[in-house]
Amino acid sequence: MLLQAAALSVLFCSVQSFTVQGPFGNGEEYSGNTVEDDEFSVSTLLEKANVNVGKNFDDPLVMFGDIAVPTDLQNADPCVERGCLWPKATDGNVYVPYRISRDYDERERNTIVEGLRSFAESTCIRFTPLNGQEDFVNIQSRSGCFSFVGRRGRGQVVSLSRRGCVFRQIIQHELLHALGFNHEQTRSDRNEHVRILLENVIPGMESNFRRIETRNLGTPYDYNSVMHYGRFAFSRNRRPTIVPIPDGNVAIGRATQMSATDILRVNRLYQCNSTASRPDLKPVQRNHFL
């Protein structure tokens, strides 16, 4: 009996100290995140929920994981050139009208509303119920989680499928897309902060790791951003697809809500006149606003 207990103890310790080998050569390895650790990362939730995206006739073209792309745009016009920001009101706030589909049950609707309200706690963004406005965010349960980037006009769909998308981090992630933000690992300076291992990516999913010329708004690269994919995003072989550099042990893509830098970027992009634009300050509570 004692021998069995000792054997189990050794086995447990071995599992706890397990390291994942990376294809770096010279025996280099990293410890920390495993595939199981990333089970509730934004990228894993998106990957699972978006298996059937595009199969419905009325779905828009969805690329880069969860970004809806207008089929009438033949060129990737810079967002700012087509006027994709939501307008600011005279009181300094940015009011974004929304409508939530009746397909959601009460618990799901409350979770979505709380996600909408979370922006008012620390930014000048105010999601408000639709009241006749022409442009609004139309939150529906489509075949996955996706959104257009920035204001597209009319009733632009933000899909939060009841099957896998109604989580706080996913709601904030898709709404940040709607406000004009791209994924963190696609930003222009990402090669200074992460290494993309395309040899481990599921064939056909390489576009999720493209690098684009983003407006970084004077903010640092943020491994903790709710817009950052996890270490094993779209992996075909349970090996990492994104590895931080120079320290490969840094946790990435594990956010359960917007980071201080996410909040800072929203406030800078929309020129919010708020102390919440300082990441060293705690978010201001303004629960009487959506």
* Catalytic residue numbers, as ranges: 174
Closest CA to 47 of 205, 269, 240, 238: 205
List, in sequence order, every residue forming a beta bridge with 242; answer none if it has no partner.
196
177 is known to lie in a ligand binding site: yes
Phi/psi for 30 (5° steps) reads -135, 155
Closest CA to 277 of 231, 219, 230, 227: 219
State the Cα–Cα distance between residues 3 and 265, nearest whole angstrom.
Answer: 57
List, in sequence order, every residue forming a beta bridge with 155; answer none if it has no partner.
136
- One DSSP character per residue, 162-231 reads TTTT-SHHHHHHHHHHHHT---GGGSTTGGGTEEE-GGGBPTT-GGGG-------TT----TT-TTPPPT
* Cβ atoms < 10 Å from Cβ of 195: 16
The three-state secondary structure class of 24 is coil
228 is known to lie in a ligand binding site: no
H or E segment to which residue 30 belongs: strand 29-30
Closest CA to 251 of 15, 16, 32, 30: 32
List, in sequence order, every residue forming a beta bridge with 195; answer none if it has no partner.
243
Phi/psi for 194 (5° steps) reads -140, 155
Binding site residues, as ranges?
173, 177, 183
Binding site residues for Zn(2+), as ranges?
173, 177, 183
